[in-house]
Amino acid sequence: GGASAGALMAAVLVTARDKLEESAEHVHNLAKEIRKKPLGALTPGYNFTRSLRYMLNDILPEDAHNTAQGKLYVSLTNADTKKNEMLTDFQSRDELIEALIASCYIPVYAGIKLPTIRGQKYIDGGLSDNMPRFESGRTITVSPFDGKSDIGPKRGQEMKKKTHFINVHNQDIETLQDYFEKGRYDASRFLIREGLYDVSYSPQPKNVLYESSV
């Protein structure tokens, strides 16, 4: 489970693991699309939510909501109470997609019409709980920002952030690919440390700083 981009990644892993490469390509294309706009996602007439919805419709299988039941936890912020809510029971594929969009929804940046689920409006889950943890079992945390996460950069190498998400329209494709390679390397370090991946370390990807220009 997770919030914002973490929720999107978790949804793909749970329901469409065979489309990981395709998902990465979608992210690259979305970045290209936004970078072409004079004001990025804030360009009048551009609809970030529509592009994200198209991506999710293309990737998630028809029975994604059934597969996700009790396995995928999407962190949402209630727009009225500002409190965090976790959604794991999805009544339809459309509701699952709406929940994922809501978990990424930054007002104004993503639009002005807030996502609605069962009559309640929601916004980015990261605003109330960016890294959900569960009471039972072990929660494996993943973050490009927090050096204390199970999977993430070493302390001192955390992504410099001025906000809680990567503003993709300010990142070129090469930088996005470097983020991907660093994430894969960090995941490998965790698996080796836990004794779950008995191979030699792969070379450290080329040195590109974790950073955000937001």
pLDDT in tens, 91-107: 999 999 999 999 999 98
Could you give the CA distance from residue 131 to residue 1 in angstroms, rounded to a whole number?
9
Contact call for residues 158 and 144 (beta carbons, < 8 A): yes
Could you give the CA distance from residue 61 to residue 138 in angstroms, rounded to a whole number?
28
> Looking at per-residue confidence, does 163 or 72 come out higher?
72
pLDDT at 168: 53
Give the pLDDT confidence of 15-42 residue by residue, as tens digits.
999 998 899 888 888 888 888 889 888 8
State pTM to two decimals: 0.78
CA atoms within 13 A on the CB side of 39: 10
> Looking at per-residue confidence, does 110 or 11 come out higher?
11
202 is catalytic: no
CB count, 10 Å around CB of 57? 11
pLDDT at 214: 25
Q: Which of the following is catalytic: 75, 103, 124, 186? A: 124
Could you give the CA distance from residue 196 to residue 194 in angstroms, rounded to a whole number?
5
28, 85, 124, 127, 194 from 177: Cα distances, Å: 9, 32, 25, 26, 26
pLDDT at 152: 78
Confidence of residue 158 (pLDDT cuts 50, 70, 90): low
124 is catalytic: yes
